[in-house]
Amino acid sequence: MEKANFLYPRSQYRGPFSPQLLAFNANLQEFTQKANYICALQTSGKMSAQKAFAELQDLWMQLERSQEGLGIGN
């Protein structure tokens, strides 16, 4: 459990509560963790810049679909 907390830290949600906002916050935290890993892989030379860019674009699109699906920002 300690290793999982280190590798996948979660921050407490702060702000006005609604189930949609809580779900989007979880999706946003997952996005940032994956983006950090992609950046680290690219910086260390284990992933090309083009591949990293494509992966980040895909992650961003997933986050946008999540926002739209949850009806946030409308």
Is residue 34, in this structure, part of any structural domain at all?
A: yes
In the predicted model, is pLDDT for residue 7 greater than 90? no
Q: Is the pTM of this model over 0.75?
A: yes
Name the 3-class secondary structure at 70.
helix
Is residue 22, in this structure, part of any structural domain at all?
A: yes
What's the alpha-carbon Rg for the chain, to the nearest Å? 14
Q: What is the pLDDT of residue 73?
A: 82
pLDDT tens column, 19-59: 999 999 999 999 999 999 999 999 999 999 999 999 999 99
Is residue 74, in this structure, part of any structural domain at all?
A: no
Is residue 49, in this structure, part of any structural domain at all?
A: yes
Domain that holds residue 32: 18-65
Q: What is the pLDDT of residue 50?
A: 98
Is residue 26, in this structure, part of any structural domain at all?
A: yes
Is residue 29, in this structure, part of any structural domain at all?
A: yes
